[in-house]
Amino acid sequence: MTKPTGKPKGRPRIEIDFKEFEKLCFIQATLEEIAGWFDCTTDTIEARIGDHYAYEDENGDEIRPTFSVVFAGLRGKGKIGVRRQQFQNAMKGSDKMLVHLGKHLLGQTEKSEVIVTERGPSTIRAYEDKDE
């Protein structure tokens, strides 16, 4: 039988800097990219997220959100930043941004109207099966 040495077994626990994690989510980094950033596995990221963002629901049950749930909320904040910058560029007079926002937010389109007043020679030819 071996004597206990008092040394911890296994690898040291990898800690995640959640301020950095949230910044990575803001810029739409994937789970794999975030794991690479922290030099750990995706399973480690998932486990630390469960630990960090755990809460109790109204029944007192512990809820441990997944990466997908946390990422969805944080990604939304990143999108708000992009939208804010788009509006700032539009308000500074960026014609391209004004057109982009008009199309996507206001449903504006660029319509081209084609009016045919005369009919030209037909370009459609019947295919003839030639058995000779």
Supply the pTM of this predicted model: 0.62
How far is CA 124 from each of CA 85, 111, 118, 128, rounded to the nearest angstrom?
51, 28, 17, 12
Residues 6+ apart with CB under 8 A from 30: none
- Give the model confidence (pLDDT) of 20-45 as tens digits: 999 999 999 999 999 999 999 999 99
Domain membership flag for residue 29: yes
- Give the model confidence (pLDDT) of 113-124 as tens digits: 777 777 666 655
Q: Which of 4-8, 12-16, 89-93 is predicted least confidently? A: 4-8
How far is CA 2 from each of CA 6, 7, 40, 111, rounded to the nearest angstrom?
12, 13, 31, 82
CA distance 92 to 29: 29
Number of domains in the chain: 1
Which residue range forms the structural domain that includes residue 67? Answer: 18-106
Domain membership flag for residue 113: no
Domain membership flag for residue 11: no
Which residue type occupies 21?
Answer: F
Domain membership flag for residue 129: no
